[in-house]
């Protein structure tokens, strides 16, 4: 894996695999705290931090500041709200009720529940150039007609089902004061519903944004002469 490069991974929890390639190093740290040292990077990748970040513009600026001139950053995140284009996912579905409750709880925590659509603006404001932004609709379940999107839907359904309790338990009990039993009852309803994926066409949006740090940083003096 990129044997000519040194790769650093960062996570808040010690969930890393036992075996890792010799050029990979994991660090346990809060990405919103001051970064561990003053080393600079050629590429920084950040993915799926929805509901985790208090100050997104600060995080994106930290990413910019810790890149080498000419370095690149890619940020991938979602809009946390589930929806359907054809109206088959309604407010009466347990899946929609759970998702709306989760999104509202994230907002109550003072976190961003829909970072995806805002990524491009944050990246631009931080000073990046040569930017690219793409939004994709991601189905939950293999209900799409297109074979590729069916495969994506299968994989997405799998990760949603596996992650439901992890997404929900701490937020619902710690922020909304639900009991663990109440959470499990709702999650059981959601699991049963999601397995009937042909009955409603749930999806969410994922946004991909990347940009480059300028080779020469613009100073106040150079900005005044352009």
pLDDT in tens, 70-110: 999 999 999 989 999 999 999 999 999 999 999 999 999 99
For the chain, give the percent of residues with pLDDT over 70. 95
Pairing of strands 67-83, 129-139: unpaired
Residues 51, 81: contact at Cβ < 8 Å? no
Domain annotation covers residue 219: yes
pLDDT at 17 over 90: no
pLDDT, tens digit, 9 for 90 and up, residues 107-151: 999 999 999 999 999 999 999 999 999 999 999 999 999 999 999
Which DSSP category does 217 fall into? Answer: P
Domain annotation covers residue 23: no
Of 119 and 19, the structure prediction assigns the larger pLDDT to: 119
What dihedral do alpha carbons 153, 156, 160, 163 form, nearest 10°?
160
Domain annotation covers residue 86: yes
Name the 3-class secondary structure at 100: helix
Tokens of 90: 């309604």
pLDDT of residue 29: 82
Domain annotation covers residue 172: yes
Distance CA 138, CA 134 (A): 13
Pairing of strands 203-212, 67-83: antiparallel
Tokens of 37: 């040292």
pLDDT of residue 10: 81
- Mean pLDDT within 182-193: 97
Domain annotation covers residue 25: no
* Spatial CB neighbours of 53, under 8 Å, sequence gap ≥ 6: 31, 32, 59, 111, 112, 115
pLDDT, tens digit, 9 for 90 and up, residues 56-68: 999 999 999 999 9
pLDDT of residue 126: 97
pLDDT at 14 over 90: no
Domain annotation covers residue 135: yes
pLDDT at 225 over 60: no
Least confident of 30-34, 74-78, 190-194: 30-34
Domain annotation covers residue 87: yes
pLDDT of residue 1: 59
CATH of the domain at 92: 3.40.50
- For the chain, what is the domain count? 1
pLDDT-derived band at 217 (thresholds 50, 70, 90) equals: low
State the DSSP H helix or E strand holding residue 73, giving kind and residue range, or none if neither: strand 67-83
Of 219 and 155, the structure prediction assigns the larger pLDDT to: 155
Phi and psi at 73, nearest 5°, equal -130, 145
Domain annotation covers residue 143: yes
pLDDT of residue 131: 97
- Mean pLDDT within 2-8: 82
Task: State which residues form the domain around 93.
Answer: 31-224
- List the helix and strand counts (H, then E) for the chain: 6, 6
Q: Give me the chain's average pLDDT, please.
A: 92
Cα 211 to the chain's mean position, in Å? 17
């Amino acid at each position: 894996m990129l044997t000519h490069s040194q790769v650093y991974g960062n996570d808040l929890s010690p969930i890393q695999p036992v075996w890792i390639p010799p050029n990979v190093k994991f660090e346990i740290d809060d990405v919103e705290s001051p970064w561990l040292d003053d080393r600079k990077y050629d590429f920084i990748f950040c993915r799926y931090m929805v509901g985790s970040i208090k100050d997104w513009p600060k995080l994106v600026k930290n990413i910019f500041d810790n890149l080498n001139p000419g370095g690149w950053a890619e940020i991938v995140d979602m809009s946390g709200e589930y929806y359907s284009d054809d109206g088959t996912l309604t407010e009466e579905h347990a899946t929609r009720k759970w998702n709306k409750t989760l999104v509202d709880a994230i907002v109550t925590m003072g976190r961003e529940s829909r970072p995806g659509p805002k990524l491009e603006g944050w990246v631009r404001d931080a000073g990046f150039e040569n930017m690219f932004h793409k939004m994709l609709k991601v189905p939950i379940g293999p209900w799409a007609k297109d074979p590729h999107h069916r495969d994506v839907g299968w994989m997405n359904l799998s990760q949603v089902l596996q992650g439901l309790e992890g997404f929900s338990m701490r937020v619902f009990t710690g922020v909304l004061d639900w009991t663990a039993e109440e959470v499990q009852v709702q999650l059981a309803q959601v699991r049963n519903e999601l397995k009937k994926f042909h009955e409603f066409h749930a999806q969410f949006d994922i946004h991909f944004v990347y940009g480059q740090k300028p080779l020469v940083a613009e100073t106040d003096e150079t900005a005044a002469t352009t």
